[in-house]
């Protein structure tokens, strides 16, 4: 394809543009929808546990190859690509929904407002997904095509490499399934039967106010391995600031003072009380500031990418012949999706969004879709600071709503719905960018991939709404089982702006911690998230990251073997994350299925029947040692699956 006599693109995809192979087939659609629900459910649980999600593109592609190539005996790389395109949409919607919507459930628990219906949650999720697709389409040529050599899109490129190396799909799929099975069994034994505690917890008696521990769970080790030692160390550094500096200082100097929001003297507060009453607000200030800093630093990129995308659309309207690999969705479906999403959000009587709110969503949505699409091109989807963008949106939109008189439960619900849609838009745009990068390399048809995203959004949106209800019924949000850290943070931000009752001294402590990190040129958001989350989540992440570092630094091993070992570890870790997430959903079901009554007349559930913890009577120290031993065995399996067949 040429313009003004100059070639626009010299890149040659794996499947040439003039070759047509099966792509948007019934097999790909059905399998993609199943994986969209599967990974959406897994990421809902993971995000509510640790406040972060991971990209589902690579495991979805590997599972697809295992089924289509090995079981169905079909050979179509573009079908496999379509499956991962549809399947990874579930992870995107999950990220946006879980970072915000649990706040509404928590308000309902506090007697503020009511829980939205299943249909409201589904409509908000699907509308946000549609807007993410709409806003990303005009960016494809500017970011994916024109910057092919400068923006790597790590997950998208890796996924393309996995698809192209299709003859190895059976082995790779086996690695993912092995991780899934081992994690499922581990999670069921730990949190279902409860043969050993899944949380190890120690008080550091030599330092009053300090504590340390570890959630000895497969998904956390897997996330740490995928993120690597550097990001894991940044998060752990944030926790060290909180748990070994700030909390001991509060305990040492607080004395008998009753400091809001706690209602007891500081001398009577344990380390968990210190974290709950004070450190979460410090973390809120740090994360919010990190999000705003990221936005300010990205503004030049936003405006440049917007200008390039508009030029790209103009170029496409000048009558240039567009081949199969260059064709995007036309204006008609884009406009229909945009109008449909806005109309549903504004017209639905149970969704507290008016014309002003819808305008905020469209403006913020496009800008953050642009930020997200470019940022994931550098750092990857798993490290995309979606929550930081949502916090910046919430601060601005909540202030605007307050100024125009939208306050109280209605204004708070409106703010969280705006944040939800923006969060989903940013996550969806980032994930879609990776998918389109994969498609660009393998030679997929963009408009078919974009229709695939639509299918994935609808299927996962309908499923995620039900999963949020299920988990709330089983455990509720904001507790130890499902702390929902990001949603709790969003809740605190909205309440603070609306009610002017945040402990601002704590918030500004976090603000200035973030500013110091920026001055030192240390990535703010990973450290800020560490400040906010309990140290029990960062320590297992660090274990996974250190294992990856050890494999990368092994001596007397070729670079090719190291790369293959790391890739195998990532596939196994993806299986660990999926396996724990799925058993988490199963345990939620078992926690709400009643099978009778206890002797005292209380309800008995399936989860109570299989729980063996009461019969074991371990002391805390013995339980901690058993938990650590099981986690050590899990790390050994990660190492073995990483290096097997790579010992040359």
Residues 5, 317 contacting (CB under 8 angstroms): no
Per-residue pLDDT at 4: 38
pLDDT at 565 over 70: yes
Q: Closest Cα partner for 28 from 74, 79, 99, 100?
A: 79
Residue 423: inside a domain: yes
pLDDT at 35 over 50: yes
Per-residue pLDDT at 168: 54
Mind listing the pLDDT tens digit for each residue in 52-81? Answer: 676 677 778 878 888 887 777 777 889 999
Q: Closest Cα partner for 328 from 581, 136, 565?
A: 136
Per-residue pLDDT at 338: 94
Co-location of 314 and 399 in the same domain: yes
pLDDT at 381 over 70: no
Share of the chain above pLDDT 70, in %: 89
Residue 462: inside a domain: yes
Of 519, 541, 560, the residue that ends a domain is: 519
Give how many domains the chain has, as a whole number: 2
Mind listing the pLDDT tens digit for each residue in 481-493? Answer: 788 888 887 888 8
CB atoms within 10 A of CB 607: 19
Co-location of 83 and 112 in the same domain: yes
Compute the radius of gyration of the chain from its Cα atoms: 24
Per-residue pLDDT at 238: 93
Residue 637: inside a domain: yes
pLDDT at 337 over 90: yes
Q: Give the DSSP letter string of 451-505.
A: HHHHHHHHHHHHHHHHHHHHHHHHT-SSSSS---HHHHHHHHHHHHHHHS-S-HH
Per-residue pLDDT at 29: 95
Per-residue pLDDT at 378: 66
Co-location of 481 and 603 in the same domain: no
Residue 252: inside a domain: no
Of 519, 551, 567, the residue that ends a domain is: 519
Mind listing the pLDDT tens digit for each residue in 525-551? Answer: 788 888 988 899 899 999 999 999 999
Co-location of 482 and 568 in the same domain: no
Q: Closest Cα partner for 188 from 593, 638, 630, 586?
A: 586
- Report which of residues 111 and 341 the model is more confident about: 341
Rounded mean pLDDT of 86-111? 88
Q: What is the SS3 assignment for 203?
A: strand
pLDDT at 3 over 50: no
Per-residue pLDDT at 6: 39
Co-location of 454 and 419 in the same domain: yes
Co-location of 502 and 548 in the same domain: no
3-class DSSP string for 9-56 = CCCCCCCCCCCCCCCCCHHHHHHHHHHHHHHHHHHHHHHHHHCCCCCC
Residue 299: inside a domain: yes
Per-residue pLDDT at 615: 66
Per-residue pLDDT at 302: 59
Domain of residue 325: give its range. 2-15+23-173+276-519
Co-location of 459 and 312 in the same domain: yes
Residue 505: inside a domain: yes
- Rounded to an integer, what distance in angstroms lies between the CA atom of residue 373 and that of residue 569? 27
Per-residue pLDDT at 8: 44
Of 519, 540, 560, the residue that ends a domain is: 519
pLDDT at 202 over 80: yes
Co-location of 282 and 211 in the same domain: no
Cis peptide before 261 (omega within 30 of 0): yes
Co-location of 392 and 477 in the same domain: yes
Residue 247: inside a domain: no
Residues 16, 443 contacting (CB under 8 angstroms): yes
Co-location of 432 and 564 in the same domain: no
Residues in the chain: 648
Residue 269: inside a domain: no
Q: 170 burial class (0-12, 13-18, 19+ CB within 10 angstroms)? A: middle
Mean pLDDT of the chain: 84
Query: φ and ψ at 489, to 5 degrees?
Result: -65, -45
Residues 92, 86 contacting (CB under 8 angstroms): no
Q: Hey, CA dihedral for 322, 328, 333, 336, is it positive or negative?
A: negative
Among the ranges given (217-226, 313-322, 598-607), the one the predictor scored with the smallest mean pLDDT: 313-322
Q: 620 burial class (0-12, 13-18, 19+ CB within 10 angstroms)? A: exposed
Co-location of 97 and 159 in the same domain: yes
CB atoms within 10 A of CB 407: 15
Question: Which token pair is 501?
Answer: 């009752």
Co-location of 539 and 632 in the same domain: yes
Among the ranges given (43-52, 72-81, 334-343), the one the predictor scored with the smallest mean pLDDT: 43-52
Per-residue pLDDT at 370: 80
């Amino acid at each position: 394809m040429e313009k003004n006599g100059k070639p626009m693109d010299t890149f040659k995809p794996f499947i040439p543009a003039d070759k047509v192979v099966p792509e948007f087939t019934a097999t790909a659609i059905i399998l993609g929808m199943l994986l969209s629900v599967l990974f959406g459910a897994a990421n809902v649980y993971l995000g509510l546990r640790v406040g972060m999600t991971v990209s589902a593109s690579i495991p979805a592609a590997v599972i697809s190859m295992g089924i289509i190539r090995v079981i169905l005996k079909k050979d179509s790389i573009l079908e496999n690509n379509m499956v991962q395109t549809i399947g990874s949409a579930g992870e995107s919607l999950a990220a946006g929904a879980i970072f915000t919507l649990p706040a509404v459930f928590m308000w309902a628990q506090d007697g503020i407002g009511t829980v939205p219906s299943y249909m409201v949650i589904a409509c908000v999720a699907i509308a946000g997904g549609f807007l993410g697709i709409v806003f990303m389409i005009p960016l494809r040529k500017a970011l994916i095509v024109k910057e092919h050599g400068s923006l790597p899109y790590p997950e998208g490129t890796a996924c393309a490499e996995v698809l192209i190396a299709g003859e190895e799909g059976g082995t790779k799929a086996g690695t993912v399934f092995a991780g899934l099975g081992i994690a499922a069994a581990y999670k069921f034994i730990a949190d279902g039967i409860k043969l050993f505690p899944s949380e190890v917890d120690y008080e550091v008696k030599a330092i009053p106010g300090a504590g340390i521990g570890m959630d000895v769970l497969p998904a956390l080790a897997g996330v740490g391995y995928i993120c690597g030692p550097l990001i894991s160390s940044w998060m752990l550094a944030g926790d060290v600031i909180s748990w070994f500096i700030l909390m001991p200082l509060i305990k040492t100097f607080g004395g008998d003072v009753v400091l809001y929001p706690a209602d007891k003297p500081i001398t009577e507060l344990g380390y968990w009380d210190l974290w709950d009453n004070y450190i979460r607000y410090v973390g809120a200030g740090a994360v919010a500031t990190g999000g705003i800093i990221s936005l300010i630093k990205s503004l030049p990129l936003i405006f440049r990418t917007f200008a390039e995308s508009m030029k790209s659309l103009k170029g496409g309207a000048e009558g240039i012949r567009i081949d199969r690999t260059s064709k995007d969705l036309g204006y008609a479906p884009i406009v229909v999706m945009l109008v449909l999403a806005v109309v549903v959000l504004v017209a639905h009587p149970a969704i507290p969004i008016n014309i002003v709110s819808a305008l905020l969503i469209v403006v913020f949505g496009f800008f953050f879709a642009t930020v997200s699409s470019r940022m994931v091109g550098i750092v990857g989807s798993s490290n995309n600071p979606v929550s930081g963008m949502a916090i910046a949106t919430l601060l601005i939109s909540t202030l605007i709503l307050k100024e125009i008189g939208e306050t109280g439960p209605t204004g708070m619900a409106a703010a969280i719905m705006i944040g939800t849609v923006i969060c989903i838009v940013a996550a969806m745009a980032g994930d879609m960018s990776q998918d389109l990068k994969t498609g660009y390399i393998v030679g997929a048809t963009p408009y078919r991939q974009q229709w695939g995203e639509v299918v994935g959004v609808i299927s996962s949106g309908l499923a995620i709404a039900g999963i949020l209800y299920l988990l709330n019924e089983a455990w509720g949000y904001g507790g130890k089982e499902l702390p929902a850290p990001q949603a709790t943070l969003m809740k605190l931000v909205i309440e603070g702006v609306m009610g002017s009752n945040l402990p601002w001294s704590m918030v500004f402590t976090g603000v200035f911690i973030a500013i110091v990190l920026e001055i030192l040129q240390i990535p703010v958001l990973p450290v800020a998230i560490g400040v906010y989350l309990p140290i029990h989540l960062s320590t297992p992440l660090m274990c996974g990251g250190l294992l990856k570092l050890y494999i990368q630094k092994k001596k007397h091993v070729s670079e090719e073997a190291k790369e293959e070992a790391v890739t195998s570890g990532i596939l196994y870790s993806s299986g660990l994350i999926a396996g724990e997430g799925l058993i988490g959903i199963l345990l939620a079901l078992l926690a709400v299925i009643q099978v009778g009554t206890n002797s005292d007349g209380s309800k008995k559930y399936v989860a109570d029947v299989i729980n063996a913890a009461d019969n074991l009577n371990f002391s805390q120290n013995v339980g901690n040692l058993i938990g650590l031993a099981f986690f050590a065995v899990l790390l050994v399996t990660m190492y073995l699956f990483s290096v097997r067949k790579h010992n040359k």
